[in-house]
Amino acid sequence: MREAKSYKTLYFLKIKGMDKIPDYIQVRDENFTLIAYFRPERPERAINKAGLGQYINEIKEIVETLPYGKVVRVDMDSLQKEL
């Protein structure tokens, strides 16, 4: 697992798959650089690899309620307060 990164803001985008292509989630930083890419049912490995393992439960909750095709901004300070 990578060392935890200090992101101020993360952006989540849920993409609807078509035919044989599955749904997936993109996680981007404040510069909109892709930091994680995963299927909604298997986020653990990608989240740990991105250095966000300490937020795994919070990110799973976000992913479950995430609407398709909308970019959702998440302030990392609000996630840290919940820990």
State the pLDDT confidence band at 5, using cuts at 50, 70 and 90. low
Residue 82: inside a domain: no
Residue-wise pLDDT tens digits, 27-66: 999 999 999 999 988 899 999 999 888 889 999 998 999 9
- Domain membership of residue 31 (yes or no) is yes
**What's the structural domain count of the chain?**
1
Report residue 71 as tokens.
Answer: 């970019």
Q: Is residue 2 part of a domain?
A: no
Q: Which residue has the higher pLDDT, 64 or 77?
A: 64
Predicted confidence (pLDDT) at residue 24 exceeds the cutoff of 80: yes
Helix (H, G, I), strand (E, B) or coil at 26: strand
pTM of whole model > 0.85? no
Q: Two tokens at 19?
A: 């035919």
Range(s) of the domain holding residue 57:
9-76
User: Is the residue at 13 inside a domain?
Assistant: yes
Residue 29 lies in a domain: yes
50 occurs within a structural domain? yes
